[in-house]
Amino acid sequence: MKLGSAIPWALLLSTGEAGSDDCGGFLKNYSGWISYYKALMTNCVWTIEMKPGHKIILQILPLNLTCGKEYLEVRDQRAGPDNFLKVCGGTTFVYQSSSNVATVKYSRDSHHPASSFNVYFYGIPQGAKA
């Protein structure tokens, strides 16, 4: 592992979080994680905001969401309302926002049990590579 790639993970593990009991919220930490486990809510929205001049990196670990019953949606504030990413199944990916604000939404059918997931996020200056 290169030292440069270890730094965001080290920072990530030492910062604020939205925990398993939090269904949505406003996150202004430089880095953290969103985790959701078996809660009653069917829709949860987290807004992540970095300082101006920064963008957001989301690292979504392997999802186990049942397509057609539940999904994660990622929106970039600058990209506009019709430009979003919707994922389910066994997806793993890294997403880079174009602005300093992004939202992550978890949605599920009310008759389907909630699945757990983990999304790690951190900010980097505009122009920097993730």
Q: What is the CATH number of the domain that holds 12?
A: 2.60.120.290
One-letter identity of residue 75:
R
41-83, pLDDT tens digit by residue? Answer: 789 999 999 999 999 999 998 888 999 999 999 999 877 777 7
Q: What residues does 76 pair with on adjacent strands? A: 102
pTM, to two decimals? 0.80
Name which residue leads in pLDDT, 46 or 5.
46
The torsion defined by the Cα of 85, 89, 92 and 97, in degrees rounded to 10, comes to 10
Residue 17 lies in a domain: yes
Give me the number of domains the chain comprises: 1
Q: Does residue 75 fall inside a structural domain? A: yes
* Any domain includes 120: yes
Residue 78 lies in a domain: yes
Q: Where are the beta strands (DSSP E) in 1-130?
A: 25-27, 31-36, 43-49, 54-60, 70-76, 84-87, 93-96, 101-108, 117-125
Q: Which domain holds residue 82?
A: 3-124
Q: Answer whether residue 129 is part of any domain.
A: no
Euclidean distance between CA atoms 35 and 128, whole angstroms: 27
